[in-house]
Amino acid sequence: MRDLLPLEKARREQVLEQIRQVYRGRGFQEIETPALEDLARLTAGQGGDNEKLVFKVLKRGEELDRALADGVELADLGLRFDLTVPLTRYFASNHAKLPRVLKAIQIGPVWRAERPQKGRYRQFLQCDIDILGDDSELAELELITASLAALETIGITDATIRVNDRRVLSQTLKSLGIDNQEQAMIAIDKLDKIEVSGVRAEIEEAYNSKVADAVANWLSDSRKLELPKELAWVSQLANPGKVRFDPTLVRGMGYYTGAIFEIEHPGSSSSIGGGGRYDNMVGQWSGNQTPAVGISLGIERILDLLPEDSSEDKSLVLLIDSDYTAALEVQAELIKEGWKVRIERAAKNTKAQLTELADQGFASFAHFKPGEKLDIRNLG
């Protein structure tokens, strides 16, 4: 977990606001769910490995005493590990008050109790759009179009999206002789890192050498495969050149039922976003089967691709001595004129003080003396 310094936070909020405006412009509506969900829901088998990484919240009062005495589960709540499980619970709880097709924006932190390591945080931000209640490929088309538009708006123009379909992948593995597919999917998911030979070895260990050879052959030839009918919608995109069929794309989460996506960028070694269709998840909570599909942007990685923010043109440090009332009045006037004005009591070493504020993104300064005209100068 980490603190955000003022410039980091400003940049992040600016980028999020731009993304939010693109999504809102397409009629997506922002919603919010609480950070805590029932632990039972977070560990119901939908979250794959993430379920093991839930921060669990201790029961309280008598309930905790009872749990300790009886030796049962000590926690009743957990911090969400993604925004998808809470969204499906939200849709099941609130569907009567929601439009039949919900096009949701969610921007919020999620938590995973991973071992601390460089570039990975135990609290990080997700920015998701999802369409619930539409079983047509219009949903996939809208999500991909909106995500690419959002990335373009913040200055990321060379992102591409790999797509596959879980049903196609599953049929392929079946045709290669694999019925119990979990181990095979885990191995193929590592293709980028361990290459065909590595996948072959893992499959041989989990199944047998005949199956391993078949998978290896298929992987080697996979780039030549044509778009299957399940993914025919890709050709309906305005910019199909941004989207590439990858028959070997797996994605980790267990809940996907159809199309899956992963967003790539030449400047990032890992994906900068991803998602897919998960038609069975709302039904698990409500009994009402509801089609659903979503894309999540990895904001931390996306921020790494963007240039550092520069200072704001019309921002001013107003150095003052002791006449606070007059200074507050001048500040109010300057704000009306469109300035961003920070009042600072002049330090003994004003040079160091101004350098420090230039580093914080302030562009100019003036030393306020009651009765004298303001002399606004550039900072740094």
Residues 115-144 close enough to bind its own copies by CB under 8 A? 123, 134, 136-138, 141-142
Tokens of 360: 């914080």
Q: Which of 81, 85, 90, 218 binds its own copies (CB under 8 A)?
A: 90
Pick from 134, 133, 132: nearest CA to 84: 132
Residue 284 and residue 279: Cα distance in Å, rounded?
10
Q: Is 340 in the site for its own copies (CB under 8 A)?
A: yes
Contacting residue, 34, 155, 177, 380, with its own copies by CB under 8 A: 34
Q: Which long-range contacts (CB under 8 A, 24 or more apart) does 180-189 make?
A: 183/207, 184/215, 185/250, 188/215, 188/219, 188/248, 188/250, 189/250, 189/251, 189/252
Check if the beta carbon of residue 247 is closer than 8 Å to that of residue 169: yes
Q: Does 11 bind its own copies (CB under 8 A)?
A: no
- What single DSSP character describes residue 120? B
Q: Does residue number 6 form part of the binding site for its own copies (CB under 8 A)?
A: yes
Binding flag, residue 238, its own copies (CB under 8 A): yes
Query: What residues numbered 159-218 form the site for its own copies, per CB under 8 A?
Result: none
The residues, ordered by sequence, that sit 6+ positions from 324 with a Cβ below 8 Å of its Cβ are none
- What's the closest the beta carbon of residue 242 comes to its own copies, in angstroms? 13
**Alpha-helical regions (H) of 287-360:** 299-305, 324-336, 350-359
- Considering only the stretches 40-48, 268-276, 342-350, 368-376, report the one whose residues sit in contact with its own copies under the rule CB under 8 A: 342-350
Ranges within 264-293 binding its own copies (CB under 8 A): none
The single residue among 109, 228, 254, 283 that binds its own copies, judged by CB under 8 A, is 109
Total residues binding its own copies (CB under 8 A): 81
Please give the backbone phi and psi of residue 102, each rounded to the nearest 5 degrees, phi first. -95, 120
Could you say whether residue 324 binds its own copies (CB under 8 A)?
A: yes
Place of tokens 């520069």: 310
The answer to whether 314 touches 340, Cβ cutoff 8 Å, is: yes
What angle is formed at CA 92 by the lines to CA 89 and CA 95, rounded to 5 degrees? 130
Within 58-87, the residues that bind its own copies by CB under 8 A are: 58, 60, 74-75, 77, 79
Q: Is 335 in the site for its own copies (CB under 8 A)?
A: yes
Output DSSP code: residue 307.
Answer: P
Separation of first and last alpha carbons in the chain: 33
Binder of its own copies out of 341, 363, 366, 379 (CB under 8 A): 341
In the complex, the smallest distance separating the C-beta of residue 99 from its own copies, rounded to whole angstroms, is 5
Smallest separation (angstroms) from its own copies to the CB of 243: 13
Binding of its own copies by 232 (CB under 8 A):
no
CB nearer to its own copies: pick between 38 and 158: 38
52 or 223: CB nearest its own copies? 52
Q: Which is nearer to its own copies, 58 or 374 (CB)?
A: 58
Of the two residues 44 and 149, which places its CB atom closer to its own copies in the complex?
Answer: 149
Q: Do residues 204 and 223 touch, judged by C-beta distance below 8 A? A: no
Tokens of 82: 């993604």
Residues between 304 and 323 with contacts to its own copies, criterion CB under 8 A: 315, 317, 320
Q: In the complex, what is the shortest distance from the CB of residue 353 to its own copies, in angstroms, rounded to a whole number?
A: 7
Binding residue for its own copies, selected from 18, 65, 66, 93, defined by CB under 8 A: 93
CB of 161 to its own copies, least distance (A): 15
316, with CB counted inside 10 A (0-12, 13-18, 19+), is buried
Segments in 130-208 forming alpha helices (H) = 138-153, 166-175, 182-189, 191-206
Question: For residues 87 and 183, what is the distance between their CA atoms, to the nearest angstrom?
Answer: 28
Residue 173 beta carbon to its own copies: minimum distance, rounded to whole angstroms: 30
Q: Which residue has the tokens 């709302």?
A: 282
Q: How far is the CB of 268 from its own copies (least distance, A)?
A: 23
